[in-house]
Amino acid sequence: MSVKPVPSLKDRFSLGLQAPICLTWELTYACNLSCVHCLSSSGRRDPDELSTAEAKAVIDEMAAMQIFYVNIGGGEPLLRPDFFELVDHAVASGVGVKFSTNGSRLTPERAERLAATDYVDVQISIDGADAVTNDAVRGEGSFDTAIGAMENLAAAGFGEFKISVVMTRHNIPQLDQFQAIADRFGAQLRLTRLRPSGRGADTWHELHPTAEQQRELYQWLLARPNTLTGDSFFHLSALGDPLEGLNLCGAGRVVCLIDPVGDVYACPFVIHDEFKAGNVRDDGGFSRVWLDSEVFAALREPQSAGACTSCGSYDACQGGCMAAKFFTGLPLDGPDPECVLGHADEALAAVKVPVLLRPTTTVDHSARRPVSLSRR
């Protein structure tokens, strides 16, 4: 087996980085959709959202910290009336912007404006390769809306945008169709992992891929090393050759989230008090939170492998995703709920019963209408 130089770099991350490498900034909890797996339980705008001036101050701090680019999400970021003002400010400060949108507000005019801006990447989310599969998760009409936004970007000559797909039990059979959609638009496909975070905590058990589908996805990704994944499938590396990427959980070490009200969490998938490190409005701002918070200091300590210690695949898989373990009620120092060797199956079956005792997201901005659930 080839030994990659990655482990030494991994050790070096434990020294702590001056700034995150993968910083996500959810600009707003407002969203016109209510996807059943939304990681941030978005819907309603939070009245305490950062003001334009505060948001610009955060961007200035990012520039000072040499954060080269920021991943902007939400909610639906285009619902912020000052969206373009903030993007322009970021780009002018040397902070590139990659932003995710459901496409509903990506009009031809906005597509042209984006095409004219350097250092802006756009990701349009779909979760099915056809309307039936997609709309079951993202809501009625959302597939056509997203395709319309892609057409607007193409017509504006934006160039290579990204199509972002969260892999589920229902869309893994459509991998080749997703690739065909991307090819049609000259876009890049980005596949990410479904985590039981936000509203995903309620739907994960029905939506997450089967063991067989995980193997299918792994083979598909191995054959297409250029597919973007945000490093999210490293738990699949336990199946054999490692996938491209750093292959580690970067929460609080490499990865970080700033939420719409300025709260700083270890990762976009752990919006929960346990992983809240501070707020950008605190003295010392974001940089102080990143460098000095106790929550992050604890995450940067060497982590125990727990029940994974005896597993021969631990080097490749590192026990998987902390968020996935936390929100399924599994111990953080044990196997991932989707451990490809099935080592979590028993423990998962055991915690499945007291659903109400599982940690849920402590921040919920879901619209006050019930999200449709197929259970109970």
User: Which one of other proteins, ligand SF4, none is in contact with 15 (Cβ closer than 5 to 8 A by kind)?
Assistant: other proteins
114 binds ligand SF4, rule: CB under 6 A:
no
Given other proteins, ligand SF4, none, residue 185, with its beta carbon under 5 to 8 Å by kind, binds none
How far apart are the C-alpha atoms of 87 and 89, rounded to whole Å? 5
Binding-site residue total for ligand SF4 (CB under 6 A)? 25
Among the listed ranges 105-113, 172-180, 202-210, 306-314, the one in contact with ligand SF4 (CB under 6 A) is: 306-314
| 314 near ligand SF4, rule: CB under 6 A | yes
Q: Which is nearer to ligand SF4, 174 or 213 (CB)?
A: 213
Which residues from 223-282 bind ligand SF4, rule CB under 6 A? Answer: 238, 249-251, 255, 267, 269-270
- Which residues contact other proteins by CB under 8 A? 5, 8-9, 12-13, 15-19, 21, 66, 68-69, 94, 96, 119, 121
Rounded to a whole number of angstroms, the minimum distance from the CB of residue 303 to ligand SF4 is 11
Would you say 166 or 267 has its CB closer to ligand SF4? 267
Q: Which does 95 bind (CB under 5 to 8 A by kind): ligand SF4, other proteins, none?
A: none
Omega before 250 within 30 of 0, i.e. cis: no
Binders in 163-202 for ligand SF4, by CB under 6 A? 195
Which of residues 67 and 79 has its CB atom nearest to other proteins in the complex? 67
Residue 119 interacting entry, from other proteins, ligand SF4, none, C-beta within 5 to 8 Å by type: other proteins
342 binds, among other proteins, ligand SF4, none (CB under 5 to 8 A by kind): none
| 311 is a site residue for ligand SF4 (CB under 6 A) | yes
